[in-house]
């Protein structure tokens, strides 16, 4: 045992963050008679045991191994030790008091679990929620905050997911290589969504947002290092690295959101930009995906000396290609922004006005913020005020509200 003075709750919380999903997936593979809900209960009980025992006994030399040993013993109390007790631990030395656990935030077990979360019978929202729960190892409270859901909403979604997994026999088990490759596009989308949830400014002052981006990069890096990742995986990695490189410059010291043209580019992480460039080069091949176009757009932003010298013409052309791959109004809005800054304002306004005619998009705060910003730049302050006030009424994000209010204040100075 190590010294007893170590902060036990902090140590348990750290282990929960890095190992909860690993231990749940380990128990699922440990015995076919253990279902997801039982595995969760066993792991929760083991963490509770750590909180009870470690203040008196001290934190073990291998804390993760200690918790897993408790999980395993509790599991053995619930099942008959027969030929079913196999899986990932077929060659495990069960006589060891404290089996060694990798300290890596993601290992092969979690990679398999990630592909299980990508089961096509689960909806995209459920896929993201169970990934955040079992692979990223977030608590329900954090998931609710990230996704803008209530605690009850997340709990109910997890309950329905467990029920579906049990009733339809969607086992969280390792599929064969063909199935893994078939699910790869879904896995890419899950990782992309997890990264975006961490990157978006809606909850800008939360520490969790940066950690979530790191988790997405870790998951994708595990894919790249496996036999499953492909050129599209590399393009996705490049795109995320280019975005992560600008992370520190997106907010001022007070936590206020900054526009791209307001950011201090000296704060952009040049090592990450160079690292991302290597993956963009690695991604080159016959297949060109949406991630390739998004990574190329992000690259052009990263290498521009300043906002004015950004190659907006090339970016607008890349958006044309992206729209052919992935036609949706949100990409179309970004295409209009690129057109505006490449001095093709008439076409940009035509697209924005067309998007505004769609009822759903008319209520989308980023579209109204964009129209307000362009009216502001054109000197149409009354129109800008109208759209800025509309934006404030449509977003719950304090950071976004503060940013729009800053633009409103500038008009009266």
Whether 118 and 191 share a structural domain: yes
Most confident of 92-101, 190-199, 295-304: 295-304
384-408 tens-digit pLDDT: 999 999 999 988 878 888 889 988 9
pLDDT at 393: 93
> How does residue 319 score in pLDDT terms, banded at 50, 70 and 90?
very high
For residue 143, the enclosing domain spans 105-228
Mean of pLDDT values over 250-279: 91
Is the residue at 174 inside a domain? yes
Distance CA 129, CA 147 (A): 9
CA distances for 339 relative to 94, 313, 319, 343, angstroms: 63, 7, 10, 6
Whether 73 and 179 share a structural domain: no
Number of domains in the chain: 3
Whether 75 and 116 share a structural domain: no
Whether 81 and 112 share a structural domain: no
164-176 tens-digit pLDDT: 877 776 655 555 6
Whether 152 and 67 share a structural domain: no
Distance CA 239, CA 253 (A): 26
The CA R_g of the chain, rounded to the nearest whole Å, is 24
Most confident of 17-26, 125-134, 208-217, 315-324: 315-324
Distance CA 246, CA 240 (A): 10
- Residue among 63, 93, 72, 289 nearest 192 (CA): 289
pLDDT at 210: 77
Q: Using a cut of 0.85, tell me whether the model's pTM lies above it.
A: no
Across the chain, mean pLDDT equals: 83
Whether 179 and 206 share a structural domain: yes
CATH number of the domain to which 75 belongs: 1.10.1740
Tally of residues, the chain = 413
Whether 185 and 132 share a structural domain: yes
pLDDT at 105: 36
> How does residue 276 score in pLDDT terms, banded at 50, 70 and 90?
very high
Per residue, the 3-state secondary structure of 238-295, as one string, reads HHHHHHHHCHHHCECCCCCECCHHHCCHHHCCHHHHHHHHHHHHHCCCCCCCHHHHHH
244-256 tens-digit pLDDT: 999 889 888 887 8
Is the residue at 183 inside a domain? yes
Whether 139 and 172 share a structural domain: yes
Residue 156 has pLDDT above 60, yes or no: yes
pLDDT at 87: 44
Whether 80 and 143 share a structural domain: no
Last residue of a domain, one of 176, 205, 228: 228
Whether 376 contacts 389, CB under 8 Å: no
Is the residue at 131 inside a domain? yes
Last residue of a domain, one of 201, 228, 255: 228
Torsion angles phi and psi, residue 23, rounded to 5? -70, -40
Last residue of a domain, one of 210, 228, 246: 228
Mean of pLDDT values over 280-298: 94
């Amino acid at each position: 045992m190590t010294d007893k003075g170590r902060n036990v709750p902090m140590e348990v919380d750290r282990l929960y963050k890095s190992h909860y999903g690993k231990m749940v997936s380990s128990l699922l593979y440990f015995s076919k008679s253990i279902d997801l809900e039982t595995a969760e209960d066993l792991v929760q009980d083991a963490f509770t045991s750590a909180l009870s025992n470690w203040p008196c006994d001290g934190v073990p030399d291998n804390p993760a191994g200690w918790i897993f040993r408790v999980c395993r013993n509790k599991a053995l109390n619930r099942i008959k030790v027969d030929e079913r007790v196999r899986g990932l631990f077929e060659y495990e030395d069960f006589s060891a008091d404290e089996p060694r656990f990798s300290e890596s935030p993601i290992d092969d077990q979690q990679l398999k679990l990630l592909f299980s979360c990508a089961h096509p019978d689960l909806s995209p929202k459920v896929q993201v929620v169970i990934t955040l729960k079992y692979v990223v190892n977030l608590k329900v409270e954090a998931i609710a905050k990230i996704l803008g859901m209530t605690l009850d909403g997340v709990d109910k979604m997890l309950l329905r997911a467990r029920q579906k997994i049990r009733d339809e026999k969607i086992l969280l088990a390792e599929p064969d290589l063909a199935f893994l490759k078939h699910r790869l596009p879904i896995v890419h989308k899950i990782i992309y969504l997890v990264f975006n949830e961490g990157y978006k400014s809606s909850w800008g002052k939360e520490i969790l947002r940066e950690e979530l981006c790191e988790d997405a990069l870790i998951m994708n890096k595990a894919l790249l290092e496996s036999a499953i990742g492909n050129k599209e995986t590399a393009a996705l990695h490049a795109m995320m690295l280019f975005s992560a490189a600008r992370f520190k410059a997106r907010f001022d010291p007070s936590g206020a959101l900054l526009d791209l043209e307001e950011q201090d580019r000296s704060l952009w992480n040049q090592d990450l930009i160079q690292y991302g460039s290597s993956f963009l080069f690695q991604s080159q091949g016959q297949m060109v995906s949406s991630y390739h176009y998004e990574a190329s757009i992000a690259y052009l932003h990263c290498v521009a000396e300043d906002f004015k010298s950004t190659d907006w013409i090339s970016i607008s052309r890349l958006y044309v290609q992206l729209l052919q791959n992935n036609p949706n109004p949100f990409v179309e809005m970004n295409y209009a922004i690129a057109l505006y800054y490449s001095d093709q304002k008439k076409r940009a306004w035509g697209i924005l006005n067309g998007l505004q005619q769609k009822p759903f998009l008319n209520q989308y705060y980023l579209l109204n913020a964009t129209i307000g910003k362009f009216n502001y730049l054109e000197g149409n302050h009354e129109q800008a005020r109208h759209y800025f006030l509309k934006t404030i009424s449509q977003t719950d994000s304090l950071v976004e509200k503060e940013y729009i209010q800053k633009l409103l204040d500038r008009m009266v100075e």
